[in-house]
Amino acid sequence: MTITLKLADTPTHAQTRRAIADLSLSVAKNKRIIVITGAGISCSCGIPDFRSSDGLYNLVKQQYPDVVLKGRDLFDASLFRDGISTSVFYTFISKLKQSIDVATPSPTHRFIKTLDTKKKLLRSYTQNIDGLEERVGLMGSSSSSAKTVGKGKTKIRTRDVRNVQLHGDIHSVRCMSCSAEYPCTSDHLAMFLQGTAPDCPECASRLEARVARSARAIRVGTLRPAIVLYDETHPLGDDIGTIQSADVARKPDLLIIMGTSLKVHGLRKMVKEFA
């Protein structure tokens, strides 16, 4: 059964007050809470909605007036098949990152942190790429502090991760050839803003070393935002699957979903497993 509450009616509507009181009691009573969030929890943080008429995508269209792309197209892996759509994507990401950098976490982010502080949060899972959870003290799966490198492969310390970033993190860049990752800097953003991608320092270093010993040259890859687009495999997918399986086995006693319409199939499947 779905119950819709108008929070503005809380002072005068007894049924709304009772429903909110019941929700508060559930949060107070339960001790293994899973939180799943989407873009809706960040809209109040000053991050423009790319779907709105005055959103970021509208600003990007000013730079590329002849390009026709839907908002969702900017988050689909197929965009890399076309040079123009790739340039639009890089410009869009640069503007989005600049908006995120000046945003502040919302009361919702602080609520999730409070659950963690009170030892009630089993785990937070988010579709968001803004990393605002990290700013309130929830270590994310994309955080460099959560990662270890062994035998040439990056893994995450699953026990330390409090917020699983299902779509990656906009604050990092990743090489499209060798998968090396770096923090996203102002220099990267400046190039992305112009619709171009920086060369990978790791690839460039390998090329220089090979040339010095007269070995065959290798291709230097380019850096892209380290976010996971539609129809892309998550680089940390195996670790995230391990975390999710462990959380399901611990039998969560409360599932809180905020800011998402659950239109993505994978997220709906996750909700069913936790429920």
Per-residue pLDDT tens over the stretch 126-172: 999 999 999 999 999 999 888 887 666 777 888 899 999 999 999 99
Query: Structure pTM?
Result: 0.91
For the stretch 31-78, pLDDT in tens is 999 999 998 999 889 886 655 545 666 767 778 888 877 777 888 999
- Residue 1, classified by CB atoms within 10 Å of its CB into exposed (0-12), middle (13-18) or buried (19+), is exposed
- Order across the sheet with 223-227: list the strands: 181-183, 168-175, 223-227
Kindly name the residue from 167, 171, 234, 265 that is annotated as catalytic. Answer: 167
Q: What is the mean pLDDT of residues 73-93?
A: 91
The dihedral sign for the CA sequence 77, 81, 86, 88: negative
Q: Give 229's pLDDT tier (boundaries 50, 70, 90).
A: very high
pLDDT on residue 49: 63
Q: Is 109 a catalytic residue?
A: no
Share of the chain above pLDDT 70, in %: 93
pLDDT on residue 21: 93
pLDDT on residue 152: 62
pLDDT on residue 53: 47
Q: Tell me the pLDDT of the chain averaged across its residues.
A: 90
Q: Which residues contact 205 (CB under 8 A, 6 or more apart)?
A: none
State residue 101 phi and psi, 5-degree precision.
Answer: -60, -25
pLDDT on residue 222: 97
User: Can you say how many angstroms the Cα of residue 131 is from the centroid of all Cα atoms in its chain?
Assistant: 7
